[in-house]
Amino acid sequence: MTYPPGTQFFPEPDEPVDPALAALLRQVAEQRAQDPLIGARVAAQEVARRLMAALGDRRGVHAESLLCTAGALAGYACQSAVRDLAVLQGVPAGQVFVTVQDAAGRSYLFGDRLNGPLLEDGLSVWSVVAGAAGTLGRADEVPDVVEIVRTVSATLGRPEWGRSLLPAGSALQAPPAELLAAMWPMTSGVVRALTADPALWHVAYAAAAAALLEWVVGHGTLSVRDGVTITMESAIAMSKVVLPAG
């Protein structure tokens, strides 16, 4: 992917860079030539840390909400990146997404451009999240993503949208869209700064989701199947949602 000369994806001029982020930026800059994905890797660690801190309390972290939030961020990152890349490439806004409305008049964004980073590319959200099961030696427990996609489509506009496949007896701390709206502003700035490339935003969030999935499954809190399902149902649904800020 090429960008116009001088294009940068760093914090806005009025956004302060704290010392910790500055140190991470230096680390990434020093290693990017040898490892083009270093920014996404470091960003993933920071996202996972922030999610654990934000969603945890003295009792621990609610596993289903943690994975739902991580998936929501990864899915929405696909949409955000597609939008920004289209601007850079001069693609008219009307050609980027197809807008669909539910019975209540809420809008959702669809389009082939979303499918690559979300489901089809080598570093798609699906590939990275499902890869966590392989890392755990349990690739045979990965659910059928086609069925998850069908469920998301079938439940569009319903209260259970994005969380209809939760294990029996499970609940979330908040609906996926609310978790996304709360955590996107808390994480997107650092991801933009560390990756320096919209095409890597979803990779960073997906890697964070994969790391958290491994952590949850490793602690015996959820099965691989349930963990991947929660993460991907949220990711697919939230890739379509329209946040108040756009």
Confidence of residue 189 (pLDDT cuts 50, 70, 90): very high
pLDDT of residue 212: 98
Inside any domain, residue 24: no
Q: Name the band, by pLDDT with cuts 50, 70 and 90, for residue 17.
A: low
In a domain, 214, yes or no: yes
Residue 30 resides in a domain: no
Answer left, alpha or beta for residue 11, where phi above 0 means left and psi between -120 and 50 means alpha.
beta
Q: How many DSSP H helices and E strands does the chain contain?
A: 9, 4
Residue 74: inside a domain: yes
187 domain residue, yes or no: yes
CA angle 132, 179, 112 (to 5 degrees): 65
Q: Coil, strand, or helix at residue 185?
A: helix
Output the CA torsion sign for 52, 57, 58, 61: negative
> Could you give the number of structural domains in the chain?
1
Residue 86 located in a structural domain: yes
Q: Give 148-174 pLDDT, tens digit per residue.
A: 999 999 999 999 999 999 999 999 999
Query: Per the domain annotation, does 229 fall within a domain?
Result: yes
The reported pLDDT for the residue numbered 219 is 92
What is the tens place of the pLDDT at every residue in 212-242? 999 999 999 999 999 999 999 999 999 999 9
Locus of tokens 């952590």: 215
Which range of residues forms the domain containing residue 88? Answer: 35-238
118 pLDDT band, cuts 50/70/90, is very high
CA atoms within 13 A on the CB side of 192: 18
Higher pLDDT, residue 112 or 24: 112
Q: How far is Cα of residue 179 from the mean position of the Cα atoms in its chain?
A: 12
Q: Is the pLDDT of residue 30 over 60?
A: yes
Say whether pLDDT at 3 is over 50: no
DSSP state of 71: H
Does residue 76 carry a pLDDT above 90?
yes
**Are 83 and 221 spatial neighbours (Cβ–Cβ below 8 Å)?**
no
Count of residues in the chain: 246
Burial profile 89-103: b = 16 or more Cβ within 10 angstroms, e = fewer: eeeeeeebbeeeeee
Calculate the alpha carbon distances from 199 to 82, 168, 204 in Å: 8, 36, 10
Residue 31, pLDDT score: 84
Name the residue with higher pLDDT: 24 or 226. Answer: 226
Closest to 191 measured CA to CA, from 111, 135, 183, 230: 183
Is 90 exceeded by the pLDDT of residue 112? yes
Residue spans of beta strands (DSSP E) within the chain? 56-57, 60-61, 98-101, 107-110
For all residues of the chain together, what is the average pLDDT?
90
Closest CA to 206 of 64, 89, 85, 37: 37
Is residue 169 one of the residues assigned to a domain? Answer: yes
